[in-house]
């Protein structure tokens, strides 16, 4: 292997779990492509990485658009090097009860989470196969087990688990692992939006969810980043096709 750092791609990394993961991987020594829908939105993540001596590239792309995905991966390969680590984190919510959910609510969530993860993985895996090394981590959720008002989100998060297990089977012989991290309740813009949807005061909602979690606190984006850091490491080469619930308990 060359002395150049391995290249990691983290989608949806403007804030929250994605930003924390990008920063952690940079601290681990990866050159990181910080990808989100709007390139300008990832500037703060890139700046933080740079301020700590890391190397990062801001990339703007809609992960559900095949042409934009191809262009993004080509840009990353040219400017940073061939990517061999991919974290599929990009996601949106369009929560509603089934009878109120629109086709657009459904399609938007499916396209970003499932189509986006498929397109990004298909574009990057060839570099992993060529290198005979690769790490794919898909970000699922405890919502995969079912959650009121999230039939679309629960479906895609469960779907990512099946996608992960199939990738592990298909790509294992090339030195590529694929795993899922399924967060529980994490303090983020997305969970704040859920509280707003429920008409709940954020501080009260946060305290309630923390009390319901066996470890007695809410999760932080860094909790997920730590798990991803392990799964993309050399030492995790015999861990593949697994779903790791990072939820402060067995079903938080």
By annotation, the residues acting in catalysis are 153
Strand-pairing partners, residue 87, are 10, 137
SS (H, E, C) 69-121: HHHHHHHHHHHCCCEEEEEECCCCCCCECHHHCCHHHHHHHHHHHHHHHHHHH
Closest by CA to 178, choosing from 163, 190, 166, 168, is: 168
Structure tokens at 98: 């089934």
Residues 236, 218: Cα–Cα separation, whole Å: 27
Closest by CA to 13, choosing from 91, 70, 72, 114, is: 91
Please, are residues 33 and 22 in contact by the beta-carbon 8 Å criterion? Answer: no
Residues 240, 231: Cα–Cα separation, whole Å: 9
Closest by CA to 114, choosing from 161, 151, 74, is: 161
Structure tokens at 30: 């990866």
Q: List the beta strands (DSSP E) in the chain.
A: 7-11, 31-36, 56-60, 83-88, 134-139, 176-183, 243-246
3-state secondary structure of 129: helix
């Amino acid at each position: 292997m060359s002395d150049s750092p391995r290249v990691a791609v983290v989608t949806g990394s403007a804030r929250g779990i994605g930003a924390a993961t990008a920063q952690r991987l940079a601290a681990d020594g990866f050159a990181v492509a910080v990808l989100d829908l709007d390139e300008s939105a990832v500037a703060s993540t890139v700046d933080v990485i740079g301020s700590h001596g890391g190397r990062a590239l801001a990339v703007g792309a809609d992960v559900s658009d095949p042409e934009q995905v191809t262009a993004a991966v080509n840009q990353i390969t040219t400017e940073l090097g061939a990517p061999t680590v991919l974290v599929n984190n990009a996601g949106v919510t369009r929560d509603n009860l089934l009878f109120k959910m629109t086709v657009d609510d459904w399609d938007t969530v499916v396209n970003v989470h499932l189509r986006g993860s498929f397109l990004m993985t298909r574009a990057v895996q060839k570099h992993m196969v060529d290198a005979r090394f690769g790490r794919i981590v898909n970000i699922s959720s405890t919502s995969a087990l079912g959650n009121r008002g999230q039939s679309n989100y629960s479906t895609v998060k469960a779907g990512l688990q099946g996608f992960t297990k199939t990738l592990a089977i298909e790509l294992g012989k090339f030195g590529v692992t694929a795993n899922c991290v399924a967060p529980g309740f994490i303090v983020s813009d997305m969970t704040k939006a859920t509280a707003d949807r429920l008409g709940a005061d954020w501080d009260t909602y946060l305290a309630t969810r923390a009390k319901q979690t066996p470890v007695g606190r809410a999760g932080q984006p860094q909790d997920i980043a730590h798990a991803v850091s392990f799964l993309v490491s050399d030492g995790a080469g015999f861990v593949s096709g697994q779903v790791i619930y990072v939820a402060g308990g067995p079903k938080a």
